[in-house]
Structure 1
């Protein structure tokens, strides 16, 4: 198939990735290309994905703040939709988190992946508008069952295709360091690094963290003052260095303070055999099985500390075995099934339109 992939213009898609969505997009495109599909990616300037034709959405210049910046980004996505219509691909994979493709690409077969809870106001203004209905040749996939629930009130059908990772990339010969916990992710308030630090200290463990400082004010106010000999931030590591850091942990701390739609960092750690102590929120209850870790049912340092005590005793081979169900191959196969359904429905619609009244 000729597939156009539409992503957001916030960050270029390249390693080291700014977050899970950027990594997910690159990995999905690489698998589609490897499967023999012709893929064109509409993404921010500076995007680098081997094998894909990349069309720049927006220059790499700094964004304008607030509403002005949002208007610029939406304008870039609107322009990308016009190019996609002119290109007339067989199907579109929508990873944009934007209302533009829902408005402008109604005539094309399209799969929209729902990476966030049903809280994106510009998108909800479209889906909740009186009389709005999606075309029969559009498909919708959520990354988890928990994330699908609110979207199912708005859309006719939401399939669940769990996120996956390239399992063969998440390997390391590093051994766990006694008394060490690890954490990775974007450093923002909702990711809860400050709570991970406090819980690790509560059980007498050192914490080694990695990730981009996406919210400098939060980092300065709530993370930097907590750093010390027993708490180290290793910076923004790419996916060649990150596995070696994670593998040294006796336990991985997953501390989302919001309804985390999935949790790729958690799966990456489990793939290395690192058991997980996680706050029970969003999809954590789906991806952290009892054999892979322990869940803190309260958002408190004390509850997370208890989860750490249980999780660090888990068998690492069983943890890694559980993680194998979250493979990129399985994820992309699910996307292709839905894209093929959308293409088939689009063809059926075209045939029906040919039938005389």
Structure 2
């Protein structure tokens, strides 16, 4: 096996890269590609038409976008739209597979798991969400049974939502380019919330909490459901809430760093929560529900607080305790655990292990 690898990344089919529709998958794909390229590996990306994430080498594919998994019912059937971009991406991957050592799937969808045995080039999967539908669960578990080293998760908390997942399935965590995030020692008075504006992200709880405390809240993220946003504001007319848009990393971190605390209020099991480590990199303490990936990130009383899920009063109490957190500890944790080199070590070890086992 050569020291350097030729890798084909297949992106999420729910939106073009750079639009924010893919959520944390976009940042994960970009940062993993960066980490591997810094090690001398070659990365090509297949993604829906309109994708842009310079300086990545991206080939775009036309077709109808896939429905996002988190909007589906538990018993939803497998579905593809007419002329699906997902099918077109995997057909292109099939044609090109001989040029690559590994194919790396980032899509949370049944089809890539189903197709895995039919490819001659090994296909690996980073599962980007927890259990959502029965059909997807079955596809993931069947792939694990057949290829236990090829399926990776972000966290053990996420993996556990699929049942008993063997230790052979690595948990890779995440990582960010810390040079893009400035440490802010002296914050302002505002609190922060970052994420897609969508019901499963639980924005209403953060707004309810700031309505009780009187502290202003700034919200950043893709405005995926405007009606939901308007409903939240209408339910809490006394809350001081500002929507500041969907910003590129450099501008987001500059504004985020000035906030005194970051609220994470998911109504579902977050696989990881990239925005959590982005906040820590800026020195911003994290207040999160004890649900999903953040439970494996936040150090209680040192870099933030974990709150009983769905407890607005718990959020309020934690907000009152923010002065107890040394913001330098937040930055230090990001540097130690969530740098690009640290993530690159984990991912490269996994990929080489797959090739060795095959």
**Interval of TM-score (by shorter of Structure 1 and Structure 2):** 0.7 to 0.9
Query: What residue number does 1:44 align with?
Result: 48
**Does structure 2 conserve the Cα–Cα contact (< 8 Å) formed by 1:9 and 1:58?**
no
**Does structure 1 conserve the Cα–Cα contact (< 8 Å) formed by 2:107 and 2:128?**
no
Q: How does 1:320-331 map to 2 (within 5 A)?
A: 320-324=331-335, 325-331=337-343
Using the TM superposition, give the Cα deviation of residue 35 of structure 1 relative to its aligned residue in structure 2, in angstroms: 2.1
Query: What residue number does 1:353 align with?
Result: none
Using the TM superposition, give the Cα deviation of residue 169 of structure 1 relative to its aligned residue in structure 2, in angstroms: 1.0
Looking at CA atoms only, which structure, 1 or 2, has the larger radius of gyration?
1
Alignment counterpart, residue 90 of structure 2, candidates 54, 78, 84: 78
**Whole-Å Cα distance in 1 between the matches of residues 121 and 293 of structure 2?**
31
**Does structure 1 conserve the Cα–Cα contact (< 8 Å) formed by 2:48 and 2:85?**
no
Query: What residue number does 1:114 align with?
Result: 127
Q: How does 1:230-249 map to 2 (within 5 A)?
A: 230-249=240-259
**Whole-Å Cα distance in 2 between the matches of residues 274 and 327 of structure 1?**
16
SS at match of 1:5: strand
Q: How does 1:129-278 map to 2 (within 5 A)?
A: 133-135=145-147, 138-151=149-162, 153=164, 157-171=168-182, 175-178=186-189, 180-223=190-233, 226=236, 230-278=240-288
Label 1:84 to 1:223 Cα distance change in 2 as closer, same or farther (>3 A). Answer: farther
Q: Render the CA deviation track for 1:169-193: whole Å, top value 9, x for unaligned.
A: 1115684113x21111111111111
**Whole-Å Cα distance in 1 between the matches of residues 116 and 239 of structure 2?**
53
Q: Render the CA deviation track for 1:24-70: whole Å, top value 9, x for unaligned.
A: 111211222232211111111122234543222335x7779995538
SS at match of 2:161: helix
**Whole-Å Cα distance in 1 between the matches of residues 220 and 235 of structure 2?**
16
Label 1:203 to 1:24 Cα distance change in 2 as closer, same or farther (>3 A). Answer: same
1:126 pairs with 2:136: no
Using the TM superposition, give the Cα deviation of residue 230 of structure 1 relative to its aligned residue in structure 2, in angstroms: 2.3
1:316 pairs with 2:327: yes
Query: What residue number does 2:75 align with?
Result: none
In structure 1, stretches of 5+ residues that fail to align are 347-357
Label 1:141 to 1:63 Cα distance change in 2 as closer, same or farther (>3 A). Answer: closer
Label 1:244 to 1:51 Cα distance change in 2 as closer, same or farther (>3 A). Answer: closer
**Does structure 1 conserve the Cα–Cα contact (< 8 Å) formed by 2:217 and 2:242?**
yes
**Whole-Å Cα distance in 1 between the matches of residues 9 and 234 of structure 2?**
38
Using the TM superposition, give the Cα deviation of residue 15 of structure 1 relative to its aligned residue in structure 2, in angstroms: 6.5
**Whole-Å Cα distance in 2 between the matches of residues 215 and 111 of structure 1?**
32
TM-score (norm 2): 0.85
**Whole-Å Cα distance in 1 between the matches of residues 327 and 130 of structure 2?**
31
Which stretch of the first structure deviates more once superposed, 94-103 or 158-167?
94-103
**Does structure 1 conserve the Cα–Cα contact (< 8 Å) formed by 2:220 and 2:243?**
yes
Q: Render the CA deviation track for 1:180-236: whole Å, top value 9, x for unaligned.
A: 211111111111111111112212211111111112221122236646782111111
Aligned length: 341
